[in-house]
Every structure is written in C-alpha cells, then in structure tokens.
C-alpha cells in the first residue's frame, strides 16, 4: 500500500495537533518515520517541525518541511512582541492563512476592544482549504490583533492578545 502525499500531510497534521514529536508507521511495504526533534545530522529542528518523512518503495524519500521561524520569507509580518504581563495570547495551532472573518464580505469575528468568552471563535486558519476555527482560551477583552488578514501565520505564533481582567 503506497502512502499518497495527502495521506502524509493528514498524518503530519494529526501528529502536530496531538503533540506527537516522533512517529513510525509500517504496513504492507510502506514506511513513514517522523522525528520532529531532529533537523538533520547534528542539528535540532524547531519544535513542531516535521523534518523528514520517508516512504519506502519510492525512488526518493518524500521530504516534508515547515520553515523554521528564522527562515520566514522577506516581506512577511514580523513576529509579535513577547508576552505581556497579565495578557493571554491566542496562539496559532498550525501553519496556514489567517482570516479575521468567516467570509470576505462578513464582519470580523472580533475587533480590538471586543469582549470574548472562553471558547468563542476569534478567527480562522486555513490549511489547504480546510478552515479551522480558533477559539479564545479565556474570557476577556481583545487588546491586540497581531496578524494581518489573509497572511501566512506559523504554528505557535500569537494571533491576538486577550486581557482576562477586563
């Protein structure tokens, strides 16, 4: 049984979502190994980065890489400021495209100054046309939105800051 690129991507998404850093799969001659802790010989990859995924039986191994934070393309928005005392960040759970609204002609889920409840959807992240709702982890007031609408965001990047005291 051959693993398709779609299979590999879905497996990597699931592993990332569940927090697994190492994984090995073998069945009917297909083999997939993921070691997100190793970036290559003698160097460590960024946490959450899948460094290699080899599929046995193919002419060349399939390599799936997410760029490290240091290799963000020129013109990309700078990373948000470090956490501020008393604020809670809404972090991006996966690499994808950030959307503030559910549709191009719809109002944004939240604005700066808006009150949110724990679990309220505050934005969407699109990964290969799969739109993922991103919830607020705490109730409070949105004090900053760090990402621009329709821009690439990285896993672990703060998308917005919430003040739970408000």
Q: What is the mean pLDDT of the chain?
A: 74
CA nearest to 138, candidates 121, 116, 113? 116
Over the stretch 68-81, which tens digit does the pLDDT of each residue have? 344 444 444 444 44
Separation between Cα atoms, residue 78 and residue 65, nearest integer Å: 21
CA nearest to 64, candidates 124, 123, 110, 13? 13
DSSP single-letter state for residue 150: T
Ranges in the chain, pLDDT < 70: 1-3, 36-84
Walk me through the domains of the chain, giving residue ranges and CATH numbers: 5-69 (no CATH), 84-163 (2.40.50.100)
Residue 164, pLDDT score? 93
pTM of the complete model = 0.52
Q: Which helix (H) or strand (E) holds 12?
A: helix 5-18
Per DSSP bridges, beta strands 115-116 and 96-99 are unpaired
Backbone angles phi, psi at 11, to 5 degrees: -60, -45
User: Ramachandran region of residue 34, left (φ > 0), alpha (ψ -120 to 50) or beta?
Assistant: beta
Residue 8, pLDDT score? 76
Q: Quote the Cα angle for 80-85-86, to 5°.
A: 110
Separation between Cα atoms, residue 164 and residue 138, nearest integer Å: 7
């Amino acid at each position: 049984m051959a693993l398709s690129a779609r299979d590999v991507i879905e497996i990597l998404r699931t592993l990332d979502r569940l927090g697994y850093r190492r994984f090995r799969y073998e069945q009917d001659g297909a083999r997939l190994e993921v070691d997100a802790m190793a970036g290559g010989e003698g160097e460590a990859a960024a946490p959450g980065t899948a460094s290699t995924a080899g599929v046995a039986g193919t002419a060349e191994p399939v390599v799936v890489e997410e760029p490290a934070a240091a290799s963000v393309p020129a013109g990309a928005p700078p990373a948000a400021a470090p956490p501020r005392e008393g604020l809670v960040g809404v972090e991006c759970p996966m690499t994808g495209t950030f959307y503030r609204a559910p549709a191009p002609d719809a109002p944004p889920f939240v604005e700066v100054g808006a009150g949110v409840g724990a679990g309220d959807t505050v934005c969407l992240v699109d990964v290969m046309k799969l739109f993922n709702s991103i919830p607020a982890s705490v109730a409070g007031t949105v004090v900053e939105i760090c990402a621009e609408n329709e821009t690439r965001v990285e896993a672990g990047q703060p998308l917005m800051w919430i003040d739970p005291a408000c």
